[in-house]
Structure 1
Amino acid sequence: MIDSQAARLDSLETHISHQDRMIEELNEVVLAQREDIRRLERRIDKLMSRVATLEDQAPLPENTPPPHY
């Protein structure tokens, strides 16, 4: 009985150890993804600013009818 309990305890400790390692790995992935998202958000903000600037500089379209009228 004591041997089976010891074996069960060892099994549980091993299982918990693997879960702890997996949680640490997943946390590293989440942190890396957060940094990627922040970097992409900064790039999008820059691109949106550039598009807004280009739209402001673009000439307005003329309201002339097409040549087939």
Structure 2
Amino acid sequence: MTDQTEALQERIAHLERMVEDLSDVVARQAGDLERLTRQVAMLMQREATREADAGGGAYFADERPPHY
């Protein structure tokens, strides 16, 4: 083999490794995204239930609490 062929094979091997590594990263991030999406949905449902149970009263940061 020529030096050029060996250099190309070496570059291809490095690129294949990089593609495999990136594929692993993307797969892990997809799992993380699915998990976080489920958690956000659960938290939104929990907050909606809490707001419904509270009677829908709105709290504004610039209002004084009723005990003042």
Given the two structures, how large is their TM-score scaled by the length of structure 1?
Answer: 0.78
Larger RCO (alpha carbons 8 Å, 6+ apart): 2
Higher gyration radius (CA)? 1
SS at match of 1:59: coil
User: What corresponds to 2:38 in structure 1?
Assistant: 42
Q: What is the aligned-residue identity percentage?
A: 36
Unaligned runs of 5+ in 2: 58-63
2:24 to 16, 23, 28: 28
**Structural RMSD (CA):** 1.6
User: What corresponds to 1:13 in structure 2?
Assistant: 9
Given the two structures, how large is their TM-score scaled by the length of structure 2?
Answer: 0.79
Higher normalized helix content (fraction of residues): 1
Unaligned runs of 5+ in 1: none
